[in-house]
């Protein structure tokens, strides 16, 4: 006979209890697994959203990063590279240029300096002229270099003041050099030898020129004679290199004779009241003149200012232009 029924019933209850416990365990495991899967999907979604947000931020920031490109100061950088203040020489000043003709008597390539014997000048009256990489050289009208300059050659030099030195802006080498021009004050004129001695305003040295029979003398629009070439007169002249050692003058323009009265009209470009001196850019000939105010009363310049236009009546005394009266351009009466 089988075992006790009570025992069998008890064992069945135990088996059923174990089965229920296993079901609960399986259900909890399934629920936990489902939660894990949901959490994994949630983190994947968060990661994907973060990536999308980062990509959007990059696309939005890219135009901002490219926007400064049009503001690149490239031209200023290029200009700064064109001239290096530590390595390059400064540009030449804008000053008066006077052409000097003569013979090279000495050449110093170490200090970049020429010694020139001007045409017609005495043997001791030589000029030292500096040059450097800013100087332009020409031989027979063609670009050349300083190597073509030799002692004994005839040269014509465009000279200007660079600080306290006479500097060669351009040098023409050879007999085919261009005609030149000069300006200064007459020291003397010998009608027999027809030699004109001029105190050149740039070199501050006497220079002699031959006045030929075909030399034209003018004063303004009028034709004059060599009798008007008096000592003390201010003149400008043009000359050529083809007439021997002493340059033969082609044309002489008499700018001012001692005692001649002039009327200047234009803006004041410079004032120095301690020296009683002003400079006026005369509109009639586009030339700036220094005018001394020694004879004017102290209050005559109370309305004058740099840049203001004035009308000045002056007399050339053989050395300077001396003002006799001065008035503003818009005034009808003198402020003297």
C-alpha–C-alpha distance, residues 253 and 285, integer Å: 13
Contact 115, 106 (CB under 8 A): yes
In the chain, what are the helix, strand and coil shares in percent, each to the nearest 5?
Answer: 25, 40, 35
| Mean pLDDT of all residues belonging to the chain | 75
The string of DSSP codes covering 91-104 is PPP----EEEEEEE
| pLDDT of amino acid 102 | 82
Contact 215, 228 (CB under 8 A): no
Summarize pLDDT for 71-116 with one digit per residue, the tens: 455 454 444 455 556 556 777 777 778 888 888 888 888 889 989 8
> For the whole model, what pTM was predicted?
0.45
Summarize pLDDT for 112-153 with one digit per residue, the tens: 998 988 876 655 678 899 999 889 998 877 888 888 888 878
C-alpha–C-alpha distance, residues 194 and 24, integer Å: 140
Residues contacting residue 333 through CB under 8 Å, at least 6 positions apart: 327
Domains of the chain: 98-173 (2.40.50.320), 183-252 (2.40.50.320), 261-328 (2.40.50.320)
| pLDDT of amino acid 241 | 53
C-alpha–C-alpha distance, residues 116 and 167, integer Å: 12
| pLDDT of amino acid 13 | 52
Summarize pLDDT for 266-289 with one digit per residue, the tens: 999 988 888 889 999 998 888 888
- Burial class of residue 7 (count of CB atoms within 10 Å of its CB; 0-12, 13-18, 19+): exposed
Summarize pLDDT for 16-38 with one digit per residue, the tens: 555 555 555 555 555 555 566 66
């Amino acid at each position: 006979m089988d075992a006790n029924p009570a025992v069998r019933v008890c064992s069945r209850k135990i088996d059923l209890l174990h089965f229920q416990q296993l079901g609960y365990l399986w259900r909890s495991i399934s629920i936990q697994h489902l939660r894990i899967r949901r959490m994994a999907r949630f983190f994947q979604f968060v990661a994907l959203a973060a990536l999308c947000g980062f990509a959007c931020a990059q696309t939005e920031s890219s135009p901002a990063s490219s926007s400064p490109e049009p503001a690149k100061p490239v031209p200023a950088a290029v200009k700064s590279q064109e001239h290096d203040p530590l390595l390059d020489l400064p540009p030449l000043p804008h000053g008066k240029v006077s052409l000097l003709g003569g013979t090279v008597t000495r050449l110093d390539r170490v200090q970049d300096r020429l010694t020139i014997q001007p045409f017609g000048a005495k043997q001791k009256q030589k000029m030292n002229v500096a040059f450097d990489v800013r100087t332009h050289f020409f031989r027979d009208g063609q670009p050349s270099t300083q190597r073509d300059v030799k002692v004994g050659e005839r040269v014509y030099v465009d000279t200007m003041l660079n600080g306290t030195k006479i500097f060669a802006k351009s040098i023409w080498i050879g007999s085919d050099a261009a005609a030149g021009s000069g300006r200064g004050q007459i020291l003397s004129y010998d009608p027999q030898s027809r030699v004109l001695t001029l105190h050149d305003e740039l070199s501050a040295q006497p220079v002699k020129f031959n006045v030929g029979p075909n030399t034209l003398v003018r004063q303004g629009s009028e034709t004059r004679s060599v009798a008007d070439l008096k000592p003390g007169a201010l003149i400008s002249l043009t000359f050529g290199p083809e007439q021997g050692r002493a340059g033969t003058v082609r044309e002489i323009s008499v700018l001012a004779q001692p005692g001649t009265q002039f009327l200047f009209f234009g803006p004041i470009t410079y004032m120095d009241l301690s020296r009683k001196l002003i400079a006026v850019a005369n509109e009639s000939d586009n030339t700036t003149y220094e005018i001394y105010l020694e004879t004017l009363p102290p209050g005559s310049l109370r309305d004058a200012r740099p840049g203001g236009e004035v009308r000045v009546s002056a007399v050339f005394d053989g050395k300077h232009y001396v003002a006799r009266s001065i008035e503003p351009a818009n005034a009808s009466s003198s402020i003297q």
